Structures are given as structure tokens and as C-alpha cells.
Homo-oligomer: A and B are copies of this chain.
Amino acid sequence: MKYAFFLIQTEDRKGLLATISDFFYTRGFNILRCQQYTDLHENKYYMRVKLDLTDLTVTRAQLEKNFSDLAEELNLKWSIQYSDQVPRMAIMVSKTSHCLYDLLVHHQENDLFCEIPLIISNHPDLEHVADKFKIPYYCCPLKKGEKTQQELEVRDLLKKNHIDLIVLARYMQILSNDFIENFEGGIINIHHAFLPAFKGGSPYKQAWEHGVKMIGATAHYATCDLDEGPIIEQDVERITHELVPDDLKRIGKDIERRVLTRAVKAHLDNRLIVSGRRSIVFPN
């Protein structure tokens, strides 16, 4: 079966649901799933529609044109994805492999709907992981004072590979605003703490010193405000006083990998709409 996913946001008002569902009904579509959320706080309306394309009697271009007319009329912000257009995801890493492994294993087991044409790193260390899964590994080292140059190199690789989504799987470098703006909404990062606690470096050491009783991890879209982009997923684990910072790091690795993989999956499943600082994550 083939599907289309519509993601829609607009000002809330009467009749949106009736009008939009009528659009699909009168065209003979079967709505397999319709998820909505009305933010009464900010008077906004969000909608995700999963459409069965079996009965599509017009071209996709025509469908999009027709919906585009409706969207203009209703002032909808929208996007569409098709289940037979496989997104292309790049993974960026530095030296730690746990998040990279988790993405590759889930991909291998068909739990992540995407292609992974390349892995990019500022270090050569993880080439062996890429090799295991037969994915090209590009090492773009960061020499002092040559960050702009290195980022251009990376952007060139991303462009040549037609990348739709960049996942920072413990890429320990701060990307320039220029880089981020160029891929806005298309970069997912994992931060190894329960944001907004413990921003910045060495969060597990910070956590230990604070004597917190749980540690966590946060996956979020990267924006120009470091560690402040829309949060996609978080999780925590209970810890005890007996654990030293190295234990926290080890336990944290398991939290990070599952948080990042879940966030990437939500993005690839077209279940995510961003609105300001907040992200709407429709349940699976």
C-alpha cells in the first residue's frame, strides 16, 4: 500500500475539521488516520492526515495543486510526504559510537524508514562502525581556524548526497549559525542531559555534583540557540548515590541512544510539527 502524510497547522476556528475532511471525502480518499490537536492556549490547530493512495485517480501534482488551493483559502501551513519517497539521512559523529550503532541497528532491522548514504565525522575513529554496515564514512577533520572551510566541505557532501535529515549522533562540535539556518528544521541533536538542566559541557559530572536522583537525555531540533531548540523526546533513569560519574556516563549512553532513535523515528514517520519552541509529536 502507498500512503501520503499531510502535516497541517493554522489558526484555530470553526469548521476546519469538517472542511478538510470533506476535501478528501469528496475526492474519494480513504483517511486511514486523522490526528488533531487544538492548542486552546494559543488558538492554534494542528493536524496529521494519513491517506490511502490506492484510490488516487489524479496525479500527485494535481492533488497537491488542489490541496494548495484549499490551503490558501484557509491559510494553512502544510507539507506532504509520500510513503514511497524514502528520506535520505546523514549521521554526524565524533568519537563515541553508541548513538551511531543504535541508529544503524534500527535501520538494519527496518525500524527507521530512510536511506543512510553517508556518515560524516571530524575524527577517523568510527570508520570501523560504518564499515560494518557498509556505509561510506567521510572524515572532515577540524583544524584550528578552519571551521568555515570544514563546514563548507560537509555541506558539499550533504548536498551531493541529497540529504533530507541530519542527525547529530554525539557530534561534539557547535555548528555555525550559517550551517544551521541552511538546514533549519532538518537537524536533530542529542544532548546528554535532561534539558533545560545541565546545558553545555560535562552534564554527567554536573549531575553527580548536584546529587540528582535521576539523569536524562534530550533530543531536539538544532537551532542557533545552543541546546534551546524544540524538544522532540526526553527520557530519564533513576540513579543512586552509589554511582560515580563514569557510571552515570555509561547509564546515560543507554538513555541517549533510545531517546535519539525515538526522535529520529518520529521525524521519519512524519509525526512531528514544530511551532515556535514547542514540538507537536503525534503518537505512533
Tell whether A211 pairs with B278 under 8 Å between CB atoms, given A31-B17, A242-B283: yes
With beta carbons under 8 angstroms apart, the residue of B26, B37, B195, B241 that contacts A241 is: B37
State whether the Cβ of A244 lies closer than 8 Å to any Cβ in chain B. Answer: yes
Interface residues of A in 193-238 (CB under 8 A from B): 194-198, 208-214, 216, 230-236, 238
Nearest B residue to A199, CB-CB? B197
Interface size, chain A (Cβ < 8 Å): 73
Instruction: Name the segment of A97-105, A151-159, A183-191 touching the other chain.
Output: A97-105
A241 to B211, CA, bound (A): 25
Tell whether A243 pairs with B284 under 8 Å between CB atoms, given A195-B212, A213-B233, A234-B214: yes
| Residues of the B chain whose Cβ atoms lie less than 8 Å from the Cβ of A234 | 212-214
| Residues of the B chain whose Cβ atoms lie less than 8 Å from the Cβ of A283 | 240, 242, 283
Most B Cβ at <10 Å: residue of A211, A277, A280: A211
- List 7 A-B pairs, minimum CB-CB distance, nearest first: A211-B278, A18-B25, A197-B197, A132-B132, A18-B21, A213-B234, A101-B105
